[in-house]
Amino acid sequence: MEYKIAVVKGDGIGPEVVDSAIEILDLIGERYNHKFIYKEVLAGGAAYDAFGDPLPKETIEVCKKSHAVLLGSVGGNKWDNLPKDKRPERAILGLRKELGLFANLRPGMLFKALEDACPLKSEIVGEGFDILVVRELTGGIYFGESGIRETDNGPAAYDIETYSEMEVRRIAKIGFEMAMKRRKHLTSVDKSNVLESSRLWRRVVNEVAQDYPEVQVEHMYVDNAAMQVIRDPGQFDVLLTTNLFGDILSDEISMLTGSIGMLPSASLGQTSPGLFEPIHGSAPDIAGKGIANPIATILSAAMMLRFAFDLKEEADAIESAVNKVLDAGLRTADIRGKDEDFLTTQEMTEAIKKTI
C-alpha cells in the first residue's frame, strides 16, 4: 500500500527530529510492506526566508493532495520582530484552517520508566496517569476578531473569543468518541461562570452527552482544572477543551511527564489529511547540536499510522519500541539524570529502530 506524506520539517530542531521519524517510518514500511512517499515543502521561518511567506500556496496544495502531513516545529527568535501575518506561527494556524483540522488530540501519559523525571511527588502520581486532551483547534480567541483601537486610556488591544454551536458540537462528538474507546470518563473544561462563550460550550456539551450515556461527564472551570492536574492527574481520562484552554493545559500536562520532548499530537478534520506533530517548540538554542529528543516526533508518526492510515499494528510496534528503550534506561539529554550519560538524537533513533 502506498501513502503520500507531506513533510514540513520546519525550523530549529524540526529537521533533525523529522528525519528521525522518517527513518522509523521507512523501517515500518520495510517490515510491513508499505511504501511511504514523501514530498517535502516549506512552512514557518524557513518558508519566510525562502519566499517571504510563512505558508506558500504550494505548501497548502501539496498538503491537501497528501494522505497526511508530518510537521516539525516552526518559529524562533530570529523571526520575532516580523509583522503578525508573516510570523512563522501563522503557518500552523493557516494549515489547520486550510485543511479543516478542528480537533487536536494531545496524549499526556507518564511512562513508567520516567517516574523519577516527573516533578510531582510519588504519592501524588500514584500508579501514573494517562490523559488525552481533545482540543478544539480552529475556533475561539485565536481565530476571532482582533485589533487595536483608541480608548480614553490610549491605544488598547483586543482579541475576541467566539464559538458557534456547530463548532462545539463537532469537537464534543470527537471527545465522546475518544472517551468511549478509553475509560469512558470525559471532563469538559470551560469558564462558564464568567464567559458567554463558555455557557454555550457547556450547554452544547450536555446535549451531545445524551448520545453517549455510557460516558461519565463532568464540567470543570479552567482554573480549577489547572490546579487539579497538579493535585491529582490520575483523576482525568479525556479533557475536552476550547482552543485557548487546551493550549495551556496540554503544555502543563506535558511537563508532568518529565519532558515536553516526549509528547506527540494529531490534528484531525472530517475528511482532510491529518497533521501530526510534536507539541514541543523549535528549540533554536540546541538546533544543530544533535541532542534533541526525537521521541515526540516519532510518536507523532505512530499517531499518523493509527489515525490517518488505520495501521494499528504498525503504530503499536513503534509505541512498544519507545517503551522498551526507555525501560532499558536509554535517555536523551532532556530526560537524563544529573549524572547520567545521554544519547544523541541519532543514537536514540537507532536504539528505537533496533527494538522495532
Active site residues: 142, 191, 223, 247, 251
171-202 burial by CB neighbour count: b if 16+ within 10 A, else e? Answer: bbebbbebbeeeeeebbbbbbbeeeebbebbb
Instruction: Show the cell assigned to 102.
Output: 478542528
C-alpha cell at 351: 536504539
Amino acid identity of 90? R
3-state secondary structure of 213: coil
Beta strands in 250-293 (DSSP E): 264-268, 274-278
The C-alpha cell at 5 is 506524506
Contact yes or no for 70/105 (Cβ under 8 A): no
Which three cell numbers, joined as nine digits, stand for 222? 479552567
Whether the Cβ atoms of residue 99 and residue 69 lie closer than 8 Å to each other? yes
